[in-house]
Structure 1
Amino acid sequence: MADITLISGSTLGGAEYVAEHLAEKLEEAGFTTETLHGPR
């Protein structure tokens, strides 16, 4: 399956929570994920 990169940015952390949850669900469906939070 496809590799997916999730990029999030948030001041209160809500977007990070959603990105982590989405990554978990995508991995359960067989995708490979990478999650990036904020600027690098």
Structure 2
Amino acid sequence: MADITLISGSTLGGAEYVAEHLAEKLEEAGFTTETLHGPLLE
């Protein structure tokens, strides 16, 4: 299956929680995931 990168940015952590939960569900479905919390874009 596809590799999926989840990018989240959050002040209070809600988006990070959603991204981690989504990554877990995607991995259960056979996808490979990478989660980036607040990455720097150049």
- What's the TM-score once normalised by structure 1's chain length? 0.96
Q: Where does structure 1 differ by over 2 angstroms across 4 or more consecutive aligned residues?
A: none
User: RMSD of the alignment, in Å?
Assistant: 1.3
Percent of aligned pairs with the same residue? 98
Structure 2 residue runs of 5 or longer lacking an equivalent are none
Shift of 1:27: 0.1
User: Which 5+ residue runs of structure 1 have no aligned equivalent?
Assistant: none
- 1:7-27 CA distance string (max 9 Å, x none): 000000000000000000000
Secondary structure in structure 2 of the residue aligned to 1:35: strand
Aligned-partner SS, 1:7: strand
State the shift of 1:4 in Å: 0.0
Measure, in 2, the Cα distance between the counterparts of 1:8 and 1:27: 17
> Normalising by the residue count of structure 2, what TM-score does the alignment of the two structures yield?
0.91
**What number of residue pairs does the alignment pair up?**
40
Larger Rg: 2
